[in-house]
Structures are given as C-alpha cells and as structure tokens.
Chains A and B, each alone.
Chain A
Amino acid sequence: MSQEQVLEPAEAGGRAAAPPTTAVGVADIPAGGGRSRLLDILAIATVIAILIDLYGALLWAPTEAVMGDVQRIFYFHMPSAWLALGPGFTVVFVCSIMYLVTKDLKYDRIAAASAEIGVMFTTITLVTGPLWARPIWGAYWTWDPRLTTTLVLWFIYVAYLMLRSSSAAGHKRARLSAVFGIVGWVDVPIVFMSIRWWRTIHPLLISGQGMSLDPSMELVLFYSLAAFTLLYVYLLLVRVRQEDMRARIDELRQQILSR
C-alpha cells in the first residue's frame, strides 16, 4: 500500500478526503474496553442525586393544599416531559444532521440512544400525567395541546425506533432513520400549533408566568429537573457506549472472518 503511495504522491494527496479507514468508524473506541472511570463517577452521582430527589419530592416538599399528595407526581412528570421534548429528541435531530454531513456512524448511535431514552421519558410523562389528572380533573385523558402533542410525539419516535428495528445495521439504516429523525423533529412544533388551535379552550394549569408554587416546591422542582437531566446524560452515555462496543465487536468479527 505504502509503496503505491510513494510512486504517486500526488494521487495520495488527492485522496485526503477519502472515507475513514474503518467501515464503521469505531477506530476511536479504546480497544481495552474496560470500565470507564467517568461513567462510574457519573453513575454514583446519578444514584445519589435521584435518592435526594425522591426524598425531596416525596417527603421534604410541603403537601399541596388543594390537590394533596397527588401533586407530588408533578416532580417526576414535568422533568420527564422536559427531557423528552427538549434534549431527548433534539439530540436525535442534531445527530441525524451530523450523521448525514459526516457519515460517521457514531452520530447514528447517539441519535438512536437518545430516541430510546426519549421514548422512555415520554412514556413516563404519558403515564404519570393521567395518574395525576384522574383525581384532579376527573378524567385520565383530556385532549389538551401539551398532552396531545406529547402523544403524537411518542408515536413519531416509536415509529423512528420501529424503522430502525426493521432494517439491518449499517449506513443505509443510519441514512433512512436520520432523514426520518429530521422530518419528525421539524413536525413537532407544527403539531403543537395545530393542536393548540384545534383545542382553543384548554385547562392551562401552568401558564407562562403563573407558576404559583411555594418556594420550597419550586426548589424541589428545579432540583428534580437537574437530577433527571443527570439521569438522562448517564443513560445516554451508557447506551452509546454499549452501541460503540457492539459496533467494535461486529468489526472485529468481520476482520477475523475476512482474513
């Protein structure tokens, strides 16, 4: 190989933009594959943060005067919803674009991991919402814009995961799911607008400024948000690491087979 390049240095230079030398772009993964110190620290931090969160939300925060203890669901419902709608699916969108631009499967794996975790948090949102709504609104479900948008969102990202699971791993799957990841994310604000206009009268519990929460409740809520974000980051890193390993194993297996 090197001999050829010596013979024609101009050609070798011209191919500077050639594709990466490994088929799956996992060359950067440490071959040792042992434990990651960062992940260990993060795991411990996440466990502690969530334990404190549980204490704060379930015991420390004062009981809401009108709704009673049911209101405590809110400390889990809101952070889940935020993570799913915010970072969870936005990471899918950004990494989809990054994959299409760079053709680096690393981004595909991050997008997939984030979509899985996003679907998980959306599911938590959709389950905790009705649990709270039943005693308060007297119905499990209302076609409130937030709720309905979350449901549509859930369908979009479950479709994303279905698309992934129905094709074989590789660049083709990465391309197709990236395109869908982009279209799905662009669709979400339009869905939200359309549903908001569709249900012009909706029970606004938390209007923009009217978060009439007790300061200690507010503190727990924001703490909970932080703890859940930490959980998201940890889960994402673990999942991406798993997928990196899987890709590396596949590649090593191929190297052995094609020897």
Chain B
Amino acid sequence: MTSTLETRGQREADATVPELTIRVRGLWKYFGHVPALRGLDLELEKGRFLTVFGPNGAGKTTLIKVLSTQIGPSEGEVMVGGIDVVRDAHHLRRRIGVISHNTYLYPNLTGLENLRFYGRMYGVSHLDDRAARLLEEVGLLGRMDDRAGTYSRGMQQRLSIARALLHEPDIMFLDEPYTGLDQHASRMLRDVLETLHTGERTILLTTHNIDQGLEMCDEVAIQVRGRMVYREPITSIDRSAFEQTYFEHVGKDYRWDS
C-alpha cells in the first residue's frame, strides 16, 4: 500500500496533469488468434464516472476484465490507480470493486455468509458490523439468513453490490449491471449507484442501454470493435443527438461485418 501512496504523491507533484485513475495505452487482447481489444486507448481522471457504450462483441467485458486484473493484456500498458495491472495485480485487487451481470455469489450460502466469506478474503476488519450496514443499505437485512439462491434476480444483484463494496474500493467497475433486472430492481440499483458517485470514487460502467447509461455519468465513450471511437463530457451531450451518433458508429461496424 505504501508504494501506491508514493506513486500518488509523485503524480500530484507533477500538478500540471490531473491525477489519472485509469490510463490505458495501445491495449490489445487476443483470445486465441482473435483480437477482442485492438490497440485501445483510455484515460479517466480520479473521481469521474465514465459510461462506455458499445454493441455486443465490442470488447466491453474484456476491457473491464483487463482493468480489474481478471485477464492479462496481450500487449499494451494498463495502469489503474497508479498500479500496473500485470506487475502488481495483488495490490490493485484491494482497491477495486467489480459488479458484473454475473453476481459471484454462492447460491448455497446465505446472504450474510456470502458477505462474511468475501469479507474474510479481503481481510475486512469489523466484518459483522460492515456486513450488517451494507445489507441494510441494499435493503436485504430482513433476508440475510436466506440462501442467496432463493433471492430474486434483483435481490441477488443488490447483494452483489454489497459484496463489491465490502472492502470500500475507490475504483468501481460495473459491467452491464442492469442485465436481467426488472424496472423496480433497476431503479434500486440506480439509487445505490448514485450514492457511490461521491467524487472520491472512480467509476467505469459499460452498457448498451442508452437511457440507463446516460443517467449518472460525467463522461461518455463509445467502444466499437475493440477500440474507443468517441469520447465527450456529459454536459455537451444531447440525448437524441447522441443516440444518432451512437447508431452511426455501431452501424459502421455492422456494415463492415457484412
């Protein structure tokens, strides 16, 4: 952890450049011989909320997996929170929280047991208090002694949010978190995400749903065929114009395919 703080300190000493939480240069990721990411570049300042839009197969999930140390890059430089994802994955893992459409929950353990288990793996102190507070925040205190497998999809996703927040990460990755949620559950997820966006926490969310993606973010990017093709702050974006832009980029891709 000390080394991390040092890097941060050096960065702040530079002063001219704002602190970058995510800095990706020329990132390639191959599966076999097939590239999922093709020389992707990305920068995100500390405390910002970026939504990455993209069609299926654009490599959004791959990008999040590389950023969160789940898979290694084939080529390129990937720094997250001032840490190289290849060289020091272990330290980076303490600082990131991942919420994906997969919940990472053990269906045969209760909600509380799931949190306790992950809390132990992260070495969270005062684990029981922390778990109880999180369960209350996501509205699952009443069901905490039921098996996670008996939860509805929305409840599981909320428990998954609590799981991801256990160790108070300052960097969050959200990979299509709305997948499979009904309107009510989406609404709840949105409310929880809103509380996460404090300005201290850096958040990257991927989605292909324009309405949900535009709701809370500071910046917007479009990823197509393993590259970032568009990047604007939310303030300069008009919803219907953006939709037009998005479909233009995606449409180019589909034309290329055929």
Contacts and interface: CB of A to CB of B under 8 A. Distances in A.
Interface of A: 1, 4, 11, 15, 18-21, 23-24, 168-170, 250-251, 253-254, 258
B33 A250 contact: yes
Interface string B64-108: 000000000111110000000000000000000000000000000
B25 A23 contact: no
Interface in B24-52: 25-26, 28, 30-35, 38
Contacts of A254: 33-35
Contacts of B25: 4
Contacts, number: 34
Query: In terms of DSSP, what is the predominant structure of the interface of chain B?
Result: strand
A169 B75 contact: no
Query: In terms of DSSP, what is the predominant structure of the interface of chain A?
Result: loop
A250 B35 CA distance: 12
A258 B74 contact: no
Contacts of A11: 77
Contacts of A24: 33
A23 B26 contact: no
Contact of B30 (A15, A23, A253): A23
Contact of B26 (A1, A170, A251, A253): A1
Contacts of A251: 33
24 contacts: A4-B25, A11-B77, A15-B77, A18-B76, A18-B77, A19-B73, A19-B74, A20-B75, A21-B75, A23-B28, A23-B33, A23-B74, A23-B75, A168-B32, A169-B33, A170-B31, A170-B32, A250-B33, A251-B33, A253-B33, A254-B34, A254-B35, A258-B35, A258-B38
Contacts of B73: 19
B132 to A, nearest CB: 40
Contacts of B32: 168-170
B191 to A, nearest CB: 39
Interface residues of B, number: 15
A170 B30 contact: yes
Interface centre among A1, A19, A21, A253 (most CB of B within 10 A): A19
A136 B109 CA distance: 64
A254 B77 CA distance: 22
A253 B28 CA distance: 17
Given A1-B26, A4-B25, A170 B33 contact: yes
A224 B129 CA distance: 76
Nearest to B25: A4
Nearest to A250: B33
Contacts of B35: 23, 254, 258
Contacts of A253: 33
Interface centre among A11, A168, A250, A258 (most CB of B within 10 A): A258
A19 B78 CA distance: 12
